[in-house]
Chain A
């Protein structure tokens, strides 16, 4: 028995010693390690590949910590507010710019940020209350209007929403395609139907239209644009597209982007709006029946607008405030060097179709890349671009209230559209306050 007790004590002593030495070892190695919190996605994978290349060259271990997209914001928010030392660099997005600004390390001192696109880095999105920037871009993401080149020639492209209906109906009548347009419509896929059609009609979620300065929105009492005639036109357009003209599937109000993309890639729709990074997927013969028959163009315009519309955001990296100073410096050095890594950024472009973070490379890539030329023409070089989100803490709730209202409008009867929008207007305003 005595032997048994002694051996248990010995085992515990050895285990504790091993534990302490492991902890100490890990602590010593921490100076040469950077832990990356991210969501597995082509852009982030390509960007992390650049980090790994940098790490190998500089003797820094890059540890990848993947997180599910479905819980990314809540999980990362909990990590940031608890000051945990779990991540040194995290994926950051324009939608959460103002949620996390006070929890992130300012990055103004990263010199190579001067090469970043100014539009995507605007202070209104990522600056903290002291006016300091908190992000380093990893790539540009935005929606584009895709069309089938085997069905529609360049001269026949829809310039207006009315054209979109007419051309779709013609293609359907000729038996060339099942649907004219398909796009994600359910909450959190609003950009692929509601937002683009609304912005193309000079409409928006809140008033004044296209205003993003929070002070001005607050001064206007966070008034919703749901009751504006332009929004009614947008809602009626989709209602008619689904129910009257039948150019879009009846199930579309419940579609996420994956379901909409599946319809387009199956060859069942002539037009769609999707992220530019789906260019490679749409053109992959292993996944898509329309590979090699896809191109992009300007968004069709509503009756209230006559100049092209586009939006363009960055996905980026950020450094939590709670990270120790030495690792902050190391992370900044890595992110700065990545902005200068031309080979890595060209690879990111090739793998994803996302314009790289260093804007100076855009023209270089466009010299011999047709798709980059198209992206520049139809998006990056468009003047009067639209900001694709709002930048205040309650935006997620406002977005949800807006989405609920417009989906209720499009799934009810046509006569009830004004009623549904009016009911949603007060909910949007209340969610914003």
Chain B
């Protein structure tokens, strides 16, 4: 009774009501997010083959295997960060250009805006299958066009950098509308007065963009970049569908590395260790990006 009384003193009626409201969501999150992470973390210290989980304690051996694996250090991590940087930068640049165009307002603007949003409605796996056939060296439209203008068709998916380029192109195509939409909303919320003053002063469009639009839009850009960078780090579906990490692991990203160990080799212990190493890396990267965001916001 005493404990109940103390608890009632600690939480007012309003707080108790709020707790009641968030309890279902918290329970679901605990069941489907926290518990699997805990099971995965436990598995990462054990000999846990998916088909024959002996569950004997192996300490840090899976972690040591992962962080000393030359493929992880020399291929997977560089690929992942390269993918993250180019994909986010590419989608941001194109999304910003499109948002600036749409912000000007023109006839048919709503129609163009709706069409530009279409990639957001396409499932990544569908987009990847579509791209794979578009870049097929025998039947793909890309080689047909190249050959029509006298350029030799390429075996896009059989070479490291062209395959990586197709992956980036697919990801940028999928994510550009997301950047465009958020940046357009940001642009439309900017105050009119500074732009009117600049127009009266006869400032060039580039200087308006460089010294007014970009600084005022910076908080929106930074939030978009942070969210999207974290998301890009765990990209799996389009890479798995387009190249499966090939040819010969040359386009393998971190998420594929963890997946192959856990579900292809059925080594759930090592796969979990890889996933946790990745989680630590993205945690550090995320914190750095948040700090950067904080600094930019203050500026």
Known A251-B156, A400-B260: A103·B163 in contact at CB below 8 Å: no
Given A74-B50, A254-B243, A407-B248, verify A396-B155 contact (CB < 8 Å): no
A407 B246 Cβ-Cβ under 8 A = yes
Q: B242's closest neighbor in chain A, by CB?
A: A254
Q: Contact check, A411 vs B159: say whether CB atoms are below 8 A apart.
A: yes
Per-residue 0/1 for B127-163: is the Cβ within 8 Å of any A Cβ (1 yes, 0 no)? 0000000001111000000000000001111111001
Residues on B with beta carbons closer than 8 Å to the beta carbon of A103: 51
Q: Are B157 and A254 in contact (CB under 8 A)?
A: yes
**A250–B162 CA distance with the chains assembled, in angstroms:** 13
Minimal beta-carbon separation of B66 from chain A (angstroms): 14
Whether the Cβ atoms of B52 and A250 lie closer than 8 Å is no
Q: Are A253 and B158 in contact (CB under 8 A)?
A: yes
How far is A242 from B275 in the complex, measured between Cα atoms in Å?
Answer: 38
Interface membership of B11, Cβ < 8 A: no
Q: With A and B bound together, what is the CA distance between A102 and B52 in angstroms?
A: 9
User: Nearest residue in A to B53 (C-beta to C-beta)?
Assistant: A81
Assembled-state Cα–Cα distance A244/B267 (Å): 40
Query: Is A163 engaged at the interface, CB distance under 8 Å to the other chain?
Result: no
Contacts of B243 in A (CB 8 A): 254
CB <8 Å contact, A394 and B138 = no
State whether A249 and B137 are in contact (beta carbons under 8 Å apart), knowing that A81-B50, A254-B155, A411-B247 are contacts in the complex.
Answer: yes
Write out the residue numbers on chain B whose beta carbons fall within 8 Å of the beta carbon of A270: none
B203 at the interface (CB under 8 A from A): no
Residues of A contacting B137 in the complex (Cβ-Cβ under 8 angstroms): 249-251
Which residues on B sit within 8 Å (CB–CB) of A77?
A: 50-51, 266
When the two chains form their complex, are residues A396 and B264 in contact, meaning their CB atoms are under 8 A apart? yes
* Cβ A100 vs Cβ B51 within 8 A: yes
Whole-angstrom distance between the Cβ of B154 and the nearest chain A Cβ: 8
Are B265 and A396 touching (Cβ within 8 A)?
Answer: yes
Complex CA distance for A252 and B263, rounded to whole angstroms: 26
Q: Is there contact, CB below 8 Å, between B246 and A254?
A: yes
Mask of A66-83 contacts with B, CB within 8 angstroms, 1/0: 000001011001101100
A236 at the interface (CB under 8 A from B): no
Interface centre among A186, A253, A254, A431 (most CB of B within 10 A): A254
For window 241-291 of chain B, which residues contact chain A by CB distance below 8 Å? 243-244, 246-249, 260, 263-267
Residue of B nearest to A254 (CB): B157
In the complex, which of the residues B136, B155, B247 contacts A407, with contact meaning CB atoms closer than 8 Å?
B247
For the complex formed, measure the closest distance between the CB of B149 and the CB atoms of chain A, giving whole angstroms. Answer: 19
Q: How far is the CA of A217 from the CA of B244 in the complex (A)?
A: 29
Write the chain A residue with the least CB distance to B248: A408
Q: How far is the CB of B143 from chain A (nearest CB, A)?
A: 9
The residues of A that contact B266 with a CB separation of less than 8 Å are 73-74, 77, 99, 393, 396
**Which chain B residue shows the least CB distance to A179?**
B138
Q: Are B158 and A187 in contact (CB under 8 A)?
A: no
Q: Is B49 close to A, CB under 8 A? A: yes
Q: Are B249 and A251 in contact (CB under 8 A)?
A: no
Across-interface contacts of A394 in B (CB, < 8 A): 265
Q: Is the CB of A249 within 8 A of B244?
A: no
Q: Are A187 and B246 in contact (CB under 8 A)?
A: yes
In the bound complex, do residue A408 and residue B247 qualify as a contact, i.e. CB atoms below 8 Å apart? yes
How many angstroms from the CA of A405 to the CA of B249 in the assembled complex? Answer: 9
Annotate B177-216 by CB proximity to A: 1 below 8 A, 0 otherwise. 0000000000000000000000000000000000000000
Give the size of the chain B interface in residues (CB under 8 angstroms): 29
Q: Nearest B residue to A78 by beta-carbon distance? A: B50
Chain B residues contacting A405 (CB-CB under 8 Å) are 248
A108 contacts the other chain (CB 8 A): no
Interface residues on A, range: 35 or more
Given the interface contacts A259-B136, A396-B266, A400-B265, does A253 sit within 8 Å of B247 by beta carbon?
yes
| A 396-414 to B, binary, CB cutoff 8 A, 1 in contact else 0 | 1100100011011001000
Q: Would you call A263 an interface residue if the criterion is a C-beta within 8 Å of the partner chain's C-beta atoms?
A: yes
- CB B1 to nearest CB in A, in angstroms, measures 27
The reply to whether B158 and A250 contact each other, CB–CB distance below 8 Å, is yes
Expressed in whole angstroms, the Cα–Cα distance for A71 and B243 within the complex equals 17
A262 within 8 A of B: yes
Interchain nearest-CB distance for A70 vs B (Å) = 9
Closest to A398 in B: B265
Task: Please name all residues of chain A whose beta carbon is closer than 8 Å to the beta carbon of B260 when the two chains form the complex.
Answer: 400
In the complex, A259 Cα to B137 Cα: how many Å? Answer: 10
B residues less than 8 Å from A100 (CB atoms): 51
C-alpha gap A78/B36 in the complex (Å): 14
A103 to B49, CA, bound (A): 13
Tell me the A89-122 residues at the B interface (CB within 8 Å): 99-100, 102-103
- A249-287 interface with B by 8 A CB criterion: 249-254, 259, 262-263, 266, 268
Q: Do B51 and A186 have beta carbons less than 8 Å apart?
A: no
Which of A78, A249, A250, A431 counts the most B-chain CB atoms under 10 A from its CB?
A: A250
Q: Do residues B52 and A254 form an inter-chain contact, with CB atoms below 8 A?
A: no
B247:A393 contact, CB within 8 angstroms: no
User: Given A77-B50, A100-B51, A259-B136, is A254 in contact with B264 using a C-beta cutoff of 8 Å?
Assistant: no
Which parts of A174-211 form the interface with B (CB within 8 Å)? Answer: 186-187
In the complex, are the beta carbons of B49 and A74 less than 8 A apart? no
CA distance A263 to B139 in the complex (A): 9
A96–B53 Cα gap in the complex (Å)? 16
**Is there an interface contact between A252 and B158, defined as CB atoms closer than 8 Å?**
yes
Known A251-B155, A254-B158, A400-B264; contact A268-B138, beta-carbon cutoff 8 A: yes
A99 engages B51 (CB within 8 Å): yes
Contact B139 A262 (CB under 8 A): yes
* Residue in B52, B139, B264 whose beta carbon sits within 8 Å of that of A393 in the complex: B52
A78 partner residues in chain B, CB cutoff 8 A? 50
Chain B contacts with A in 66-104, Cβ cutoff 8 A: none
In the complex, chain A residues whose CB is within 8 Å of the CB of B136: 251, 259
Residue on B nearest A75 in the bound complex, by CB: B263
Nearest chain-A residue to B252 (Cβ)? A404
CB closest chain-A residue, reference B240: A70
Please tell me if the beta carbons of A254 and B247 are within 8 angstroms of each other in the complex.
Answer: yes
Q: A259-B138, A393-B266, A400-B264 are in contact. List 6 more A-B contacts (CB 8 A).
A: A74-B50, A249-B137, A250-B158, A253-B155, A254-B247, A407-B246
Instruction: List 23 interface pairs A-B (beta carbons < 8 Å), by A numbering.
Output: A73-B266, A74-B266, A77-B50, A77-B266, A78-B50, A99-B266, A100-B51, A187-B246, A249-B138, A250-B155, A251-B138, A251-B157, A251-B158, A253-B246, A254-B163, A259-B136, A268-B138, A394-B265, A396-B265, A397-B264, A397-B267, A400-B260, A400-B265
For the complex of A and B, the 6 pairs showing the least CB-CB separation, nearest first, are: A251-B137, A251-B155, A408-B248, A254-B157, A250-B155, A397-B265
